[in-house]
Amino acid sequence: MAKRPRVLTLSAKETLILELLVEHDELYGLQLVSNSKRKLKRGTVYVTLGRMEEKGYITSRLEDAPADMGGMPRRLYQATPLGRRVLAAWSAATTHLMPEFAR
């Protein structure tokens, strides 16, 4: 008997991150924290972003920092087409199943 495909799910934090990335196109970690109005915490946002990148919901690139700036280049995150589809499907499912709680 063929294995059923795993249902892609989104946690509350992942949903928020995808919504912010869809709205702003490209953001780095601390920008996500500040735009989330304290819903995302500094300690956990990087772990969540790493997990989402492994799942394929987002992609990242190192910024083109000027040479004189020094330090490590920051990582900019973007929602992938898969991430956008999962967010759209998840939002639609939430609206359909629990209209009282849909944003």
Q: Is residue 75 close enough to count as binding another protein by CB under 8 A?
A: yes
62 DSSP β-pair partners: 75
- In whole angstroms, the minimum distance from the beta carbon of 76 to another protein comes to 9
Question: Could you tell me whether strands 75-79 and 58-62 are parallel, antiparallel, or unpaired per DSSP bridges?
Answer: antiparallel
Nearer to another protein, 15 or 60 (CB): 60
Cβ neighbourhood burial of 87 (10 Å; 0-12, 13-18, 19+) = buried
- How many residues in the shown chain lie near another protein by CB under 8 A? 20
Task: Sketch the per residue contact string, 36 through 65, with another protein: x for CB under 8 A, - otherwise.
Answer: -----xxxx-xx-xx--xx-----x-----
Give yes or no for a contact between 50 and 58, defined as CB atoms under 8 angstroms apart.
no
Q: Is residue 19 close enough to count as binding another protein by CB under 8 A?
A: no
Give the SS3 label for residue 79: strand
* Dist CA 85 CA 35 (whole Å): 22
Q: Is residue 9 close enough to count as binding another protein by CB under 8 A?
A: no
* Dist CA 98 CA 91 (whole Å): 10
Nearer to another protein, 51 or 91 (CB): 51
Contact residues for another protein, defined by CB under 8 A: 28-30, 41-44, 46-47, 49-50, 53-54, 60, 70-75
